[in-house]
Structure 1
Amino acid sequence: MKVNWGTAIVLVFIGFISFILYFVVRMNTDKKYEHDLVTEDYYKQELAFQNEINAEQKGNALHNNVEVKKIAEGLLVVFPKDKNYTKLSGSISLYRPSNKKLDFEIPITLQSSEILVPQNKLIEGRWNITVNWSYENTSYLFKESFTY
């Protein structure tokens, strides 16, 4: 049987569409390719974004901003020494871009001007840390990406 050029074009289109549909179905059903949004309440956080920018600018304007140090026991978050640590409050959020299940948040309760994130909570790889803290009714924000 001879195939003319019109039939060949139709067969090529059918083959191409089948190829694309195969990958669309595979990407939607395979859990390995599942990626979540960064946050569940994206629009709610977007409305508060200007407050976040202002708090980050205040933090950057400090002479001594928050420092994050990797030590043997884990991750050490050091607050400015010129602030009275008993008046500090807020939270430390650690976000793992590759796995939503590893994200966690620690409330800031200080015995000194430092707080330790234990090594057993951190897995090797890339992390984003956000320290949202306030001192005497002024909000500050510190953000950093690091590899543990």
Structure 2
Amino acid sequence: MQARTRTTLVASAAIAAALSLTAITPALAGPSTRTTATTSAPAPSQGDPRSTVGRVADFYGAYIDSVWDTQDPAAGADAKALRSFYLSKAAQKKVAAFEAKEHADGILFAQNVPVKWKVAYTGSGAGHATSLVTLTWSDGKNPEVTHIKVQSDLKTRKITDLAAVK
């Protein structure tokens, strides 16, 4: 009889804990992402470390985050480490040469930081994939947008070339 009472008690506690977790999880997740007539839910983020284009998106997301946070003393070191990890040596040299000549960020091709970014696959061939990075510089009805063509090596997944699209 005691074993059955103990089993029932443990099962009841487990059910109560599960129901409590189910009740509070939405609150812990943050604001609701329901879609209404005036707002839309943000697209879920996902990634795949094998995807060359995904790595370009990961790089731009992390890089923009690091240069956006100018108050964080680690931001400059983070941006440098990101460049070293995601860009080939040749691309790093090209970016440095652009920065020395133009006095602007050679990843963003600008002196400021965009408020939004997105990356789209545009094709592949000869061992490389090409992506188009769209940078949005302001909010509102007619935001300023620029584009960067990014080439990545399919084998190493490193960014091998960046060029502003005019």
Query: What TM-score bracket applies, with the shorter chain setting the length?
Result: 0.3 to 0.5
TM-score of the superposed pair, with normalisation by structure 1: 0.35
Larger fraction in strand:
1
Larger fraction in helix:
2
TM-score of the superposed pair, with normalisation by structure 2: 0.32
Instruction: Tell me which structure has the larger Cα radius of gyration.
Output: 1
